[in-house]
Amino acid sequence: MKSTFRIAVLAAAAAVAVPGFAQQPNPLDNVPDKMPFDTPYGAPIPLDRAEAAIAAAVAEAKKRDWKMNVSVVDSGGNLVAFQRMDGAQLASVKISMHKARAAAQFRRETKAFENGIQSGLNYLITLDGIIGSRGGIPLMDGGKLVGAIGCSGGTGSQDEVSCKAGAAAVNR
């Protein structure tokens, strides 16, 4: 008797839930005309420019007494240069690399993932190589992506400020 009652309740719940679900269109069903973040890949960033980006990011962090780990990867997502500031936390060695690599390989700022996950797009965390935290920014040269910079050590917002200083120093 009990189980029959449960089934009846479940059936009633389903009857309510299904029409409610059908009324809300899934935003992911939308098919845009153009590809998002359709940036062409360029040649790998040279070491001197990678180091210039890191120097600018480190200078910005130093000015504010933040301790950052800063990575720059090339257009293939491979590490080109890295610096750990005195007193920066160890976990951020790999996080800074991950942010840089994700920004290069997905051709967008890692903040895009943070925003997406925060807005409820949980499927994003199932994608390979994602990192849901700001502080990874593509490096550009003449409209092409030549690499990316990743900063980690503070809050995401602090990481991003350092990163932007680095990117601004070399983007053209």
Return the number of the residue (75 or 112) whose C-beta is nearest other proteins.
75
41 binds other proteins (CB under 8 A): no
Using the rule CB under 8 A, which residue among 82, 115, 117, 141 binds other proteins? 82
Contact 145, 41 (CB under 8 A): yes
Size of the site for other proteins (CB under 8 A): 16
Q: Is 47 in the site for other proteins (CB under 8 A)?
A: yes
Q: Could you tell me which residues come within 8 angstroms of residue 60 by beta carbon, excluding any fewer than 6 positions away?
A: 161, 162, 165, 166
CA distance linking residue 164 with residue 118, whole number of Å: 22
Q: Which of 21-29, 86-94, 133-141, 157-165 is the region at the interface with other proteins (rule: CB under 8 A)?
A: 86-94
Q: Sign of dihedral through CA atoms 119, 124, 126, 132? A: negative
> By the criterion CB under 8 A, which residues form the site for other proteins?
46-47, 51, 58, 76, 78-86, 90, 93
